[in-house]
Amino acid sequence: MKKKPLLELLIKDYNNGPKDFFYSKIMCGEILVNGEKITNPGTKIPIDSNIEIIEKGFVSRGGLKLEAALKKWGIIITGKKVLDAGSSTGGFTDCLLKQGADHVYAVDVGYNQLAFSLRQDKRVSVYEKTNIMHLKEFPSIPDAAVADLSFRSISGAGRHIINLTSEKWLIALIKPQFEINKNEFPDFNGIISNKNVLHTVLKRVLKKLEKDKLFVDKVMVSPVKGRKGNTEFLFLIRDNESAIADSLWMDKIGRELDNLVDDMQ
């Protein structure tokens, strides 16, 4: 059986995610190969090995997704007040606190979903049964926001969420299955496996965000797929009046997304 280095196979298995993120996971003993922990990134293993990320440290898989983006993009959360839109069980909230957030406003339309440990944390304000689109302000304005919205598009919501922050930026988990136009793809069954469809859906998201006077600064593939196997993406979204706004961002990010999709296994 052909063998390759663990780090190389891990990156391939998780959609060409950030190398530094996976390297640190291996070194910290958070990777299992066929049920056994391996801590040397260069260890050669059979290419058909079962590789798993140990989901420790966060209350849900969402924490791994956000952690990867923060590390890849070098974003410092320490001391910030952050809005978590679509907090659910609290993976993003947990990650933010572990990254040094001063306070998190956890907002979700659901009820009794947030992990008990987070619910009891004085650094977390819980807004249950609350539609983020109905919120106008918080006791103290959040510096920035993160979002993992289910069953709705980030377009429209992204503009509203960013308006609630002082620094005018948002890290959003983009779930293409919730961005798709079902009238355009009548055979859609909840899973997007066709790369051409994925290209179309992601480009449409960019255009909608631009229409909302936002721009996408950075993109990456989530290192963890959705529960049904859908590939997800993380976008760093900013107000288009930001000092670092790039007038050519649409072409640049569009090409980057094309490459990410084309490289998917």
CATH number, domain of 156, equals 3.40.50.150
CB-count burial class (<10 Å; 0-12, 13-18, 19+) for 204: middle
Mean per-residue pLDDT, 18-26: 78
Tell whether 233 and 135 lie within a shared domain: yes
149 and 239 share one domain: yes
Same domain, 19 and 139: no
Domain extent, residue 244, equals 62-262
Token pair of 68 as six digits: 């990867």
Nearest one of 133, 68, 75 to 107, comparing CA atoms: 133
Report whether pLDDT(66) > 60.
yes
What are residue 175's phi and psi, to 5 degrees?
-110, 100
The H-or-E segment that residue 219 falls in is strand 214-221
How far apart (Å, rounded) are the C-alpha atoms in residues 31 and 17? Answer: 15
* More confident site: 64 or 12: 64
Helix axes 6-13, 19-27, angle to 10 degrees: 130
Give me the number of domains the chain comprises.
Answer: 2
Sign of the alpha-carbon torsion through 103, 74, 265, 233: positive
Residue 220 in contact with residue 19, Cβ under 8 Å?
no
Q: 45 with 101, same domain?
A: no
Q: What is the pLDDT of residues 203-212, one digit of tens each?
A: 999 999 999 9
pTM for the full predicted model: 0.79
Residue 226's Cβ-count burial label (10 Å; 0-12, 13-18, 19+) is buried
150-191 pLDDT, tens digit per residue, is 878 898 899 999 999 999 999 999 998 888 777 776 676 677
213 and 249 co-located in one domain: yes
Strand arrangement, sheet containing 214-221: 124-127, 103-107, 81-85, 144-147, 169-174, 233-239, 214-221
On whether both 96 and 40 belong to a single domain, the answer is no
> Given the structure tokens 């950075």, which residue do they identify?
218
Percent of the chain topping pLDDT 90 = 49
Task: Please tell me whether residues 28 and 46 are part of one structural domain.
Answer: yes
CB atoms closer than 10 angstroms to residue 237:
26
Shared domain check, 105 and 38: no
Indicate whether 38 and 77 sit together in one domain.
Answer: no
Claim to verify: residue 109 and residue 221 sit in the same structural domain: yes
